[in-house]
């Protein structure tokens, strides 16, 4: 049996990852392609419980503990859901994966990209996406979009501007270092154009 494909969506808060994920699922299914959509952190019960903890604005969580919690949630998702789906030949669309930790904890929290990469390589068994769609957006615009959602900011959304500037720079570095895997999508345009860019970026995998 042919192994499935893993497509991940990355970007700063407010870039429109969830909107694109839903639109991609609809477009692929309309084209007769079955796809499973999962999110990070989360996707399985244990990881969803970790998600609630790391997003809780009332929780005090150190930077290293935060990185380890994300890696733990990711490890459980890989073991319980991702690997079985990929082994069964499924196409999986995942809202965030390891690149998020490299950017948010490695750069944003200043823990070091390679240090965070090491714990995630262990947690995921080295699982790498077949394609990553990186939604690029000015961090200030992303923050304004996040603030219009109506929900109170979570722990990460409450961080200062320079935190998100470091994250955006780290994502740009990842795209430059892995151009075959990471395809940049201009997220400042309308949702239909973002979807069109994404479909073009994954066409060879379908």
Q: How far apart are the first and last CA of the chain?
A: 16
Q: Which helix (H) or strand (E) holds 71?
A: helix 63-77
Q: What is the DSSP string of 137-165?
A: --HHHHHHHHHTT-SPP-TTTTS-HHHHH
What is the reported pLDDT for 146?
A: 62
What is the reported pLDDT for 142?
A: 65
Domain with residue 11: its CATH number is: 3.40.50.300
Give the chain's domain count: 1
In eight-state DSSP terms, residue 108 is: I
What is the reported pLDDT for 140?
A: 77
What is the reported pLDDT for 145?
A: 66
What is the reported pLDDT for 157?
A: 76
Q: What is the pLDDT along the chain (206 residues), one digit of tens a residue?
A: 699 999 999 999 889 999 999 999 999 999 999 999 999 999 999 999 999 999 888 899 999 999 999 999 999 999 999 999 999 999 999 999 999 999 999 999 999 999 999 999 999 999 999 999 999 998 777 666 666 666 777 767 778 889 999 999 999 999 999 999 999 999 999 999 999 999 999 999 98
What is the reported pLDDT for 198?
A: 97
Task: Provide the domain limits for residue 9.
Answer: 5-205
What is the reported pLDDT for 147?
A: 60
Q: How far is CA 85 from CA 8, 24, 121, in A?
A: 14, 18, 19
**Structure tokens, 104:** 């948010």
**Structure tokens, 85:** 């789906």
Helix (H, G, I), strand (E, B) or coil at 35: coil
**Residue-wise over 59-75: b if at least 16 C-beta within 10 A, else e?**
eeeeeeebbbbbbbbbb
């Amino acid at each position: 049996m042919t192994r499935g494909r893993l497509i991940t969506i990355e970007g700063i808060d407010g870039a429109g990852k969830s909107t694109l994920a839903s639109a991609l699922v609809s477009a692929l299914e309309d084209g007769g392609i079955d796809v499973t959509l999962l999110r990070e952190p989360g996707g399985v019960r244990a990881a969803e419980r970790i998600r609630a903890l790391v997003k809780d604005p009332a929780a005090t969580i150190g930077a290293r503990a935060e990185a380890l919690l994300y890696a733990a949630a990711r490890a459980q998702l890989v073991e319980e859901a991702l690997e079985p789906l990929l082994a069964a030949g499924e196409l999986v669309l995942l809202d965030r994966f390891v690149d998020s930790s490299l950017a948010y904890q490695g750069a944003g929290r200043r823990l070091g990209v390679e240090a965070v990469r090491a714990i995630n390589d262990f947690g995921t068994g080295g699982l790498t996406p077949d394609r990553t769609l990186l939604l690029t957006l000015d961090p200030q615009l992303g923050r304004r979009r996040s603030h219009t959602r109506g929900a109170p900011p979570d722990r990460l959304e409450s961080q200062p501007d320079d935190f998100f500037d470091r994250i955006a720079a780290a994502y740009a570095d990842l795209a430059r270092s892995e151009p075959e895997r990471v395809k940049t999508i201009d997220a400042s345009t309308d949702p239909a154009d973002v979807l069109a860019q994404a479909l073009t970026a994954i066409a060879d995998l379908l």
